[in-house]
Structure 1
Amino acid sequence: MELGETAPTAPVASPAPWHLWVIGTVGLLWNAFGCYDYVMSKTSPETYLAQMGMGQETVDYMASFPAWLTAFWALGVWGSLAGSVLLLARSRHAVTAFAASLFGLAVSQGYETLFLKPPFPPPLAVVGTIWIALILQLVYASRMKRASVLA
C-alpha cells in the first residue's frame, strides 16, 4: 500500500429489519426439529418411530437407506439449520446453506419417491410444508443478501 492510500474496507451491511430476527428465529426452531428428527431416526429408531405409531417395518425400511441417501438427507436438515444460524448472524453464506439444503431435500425425497417403496405413504401436507418452508427461507435469505442486510 502506498503512502496516503487507505486500506480497503469490508462492505458495510444495512441495518437488519425486525423481520429478519423473527424469520431467523422461527426458521431456527423449525429446522432444529428436522435435525432432532434426523438424529432420533438414526440413533434410536425403534423407540422414536414407535412413539409416532410406526412399527418395525418402518425401522427396517429406514435402515435400508444407502449411505449416500442418508448423506443427502443429512445435507437437507443440517444445511437448513446452518442457513438459519447464518441468517441470524447476517452472513451472506445463509443463501448457500439454504440452497445446499434444498438440493439435499430434492435428492433424498426424489430418490425415495421414485425408487423406494416406503411402508407408509408420506403425508403430503407435511412434505409440502417442508418444501414451502425451505423455498421461502432461501428466497428470503436471497432478498436480504440483495438488500445488503447480509454481508
Structure 2
Amino acid sequence: MTETTIKTPWHLWLVGVVAVLFNAIGVFDFVMSMTQGAAYMTSAGMTPAQIDHYHQMPAWMTLDWAVGVFGAFAGSILILLRNKLAWPVLAVSLAAFLLSLAYTYVLTDGGKIMGQQMAVASAVIAGLLVFFIGYAWAMTRRGVLR
C-alpha cells in the first residue's frame, strides 16, 4: 500500500491565521466580559441598556456563548494543525452562535436593545463561520486535513 503525501496549500496558512486572529477577538471579548464586567463593556462602547441585557442572560446563554467563541477558536487552531476535526468543531460553534441569535432576536427584545450595528456584526460573524466551516470541510475532502 502506497501512501501519498498531500502538500499543504499556501491558502491554508492564510485562512487558518485569519480564522485564529478573528476568533481570538471573540475569546478576548468573552474573557473580558466575564472578568471585567460592566467596566469592560462600557469601555467597548456599550450602552447601559445593552450591558443590562448581558447581565440578565441566563446561565445557559453564558455557556452557549463560551461554546461558540472557544469552539470557533479551537476549530481555527485545528485548521492550522491540519486536523479533520476542524469543520465539526466549527460547526458546533456556529450552532451555538445561532442559538445565541435566537435568544437575542426571538426569545428576548435584545435585537432592539443591541441595535443595527450588532445585527450587522452578527451577520459578518455568521458568514465567516460558514466560510471557515466550508473551507475546513473542503480541505478535509481533499485530504489536506487528516
Q: TM-score, structure 1 length as denominator?
A: 0.87
Which residue of 59, 66, 73 corresponds with 1:74? 66
> Whose Rg is larger?
1
- Given the superposition, is the C-alpha separation of residues 150 and 61 from structure 1 closer, same or farther in structure 2, using an over 3 Å criterion? same
Residue 52 of structure 1: CA displacement?
2.3
Aligned residues: 143
Residue 122 of structure 1: CA displacement?
4.7
Residue 41 of structure 1: CA displacement?
1.4
Structure 1 counterpart of 2:141? 146
One-letter code aligned to 1:136:
F
Q: Deviations over 1:63-120 (max 9, x none)?
A: 1111111111111111100001000000001011111101100111112110112233
Separation in structure 1 between the aligned mates of residue 18 and residue 46 of structure 2, nearest angstrom:
28
Structure 2 counterpart of 1:102? 94
Aligned partner of residue 115 in structure 2, secondary structure: coil
Separation in structure 2 between the aligned mates of residue 70 and residue 149 of structure 1, nearest angstrom:
34
Which residue of 35, 48, 51 corresponds with 1:56? 48
- Given the superposition, is the C-alpha separation of residues 13 and 149 from structure 1 closer, same or farther in structure 2, using an over 3 Å criterion? farther
Separation in structure 2 between the aligned mates of residue 49 and residue 78 of structure 1, nearest angstrom:
19
- Structure with a larger share of its residues in helix: 2
Structure 1 gaps of 5+ residues are 1-7
Structure 2 counterpart of 1:121? 115
One-letter code aligned to 2:6:
S
Percent identity over the alignment is 35
Residue 121 of structure 1: CA displacement?
1.3
Q: Deviations over 1:31-63 (max 9, x none)?
A: 000111111112112111111222333222211
RMSD between aligned residues: 1.8
Residue 12 of structure 1: CA displacement?
6.0
One-letter code aligned to 2:46:
M
CA contact (8 A) 1:80 1:97 kept: yes
Q: TM-score, structure 2 length as denominator?
A: 0.90
- Given the superposition, is the C-alpha separation of residues 29 and 52 from structure 1 closer, same or farther in structure 2, using an over 3 Å criterion? same
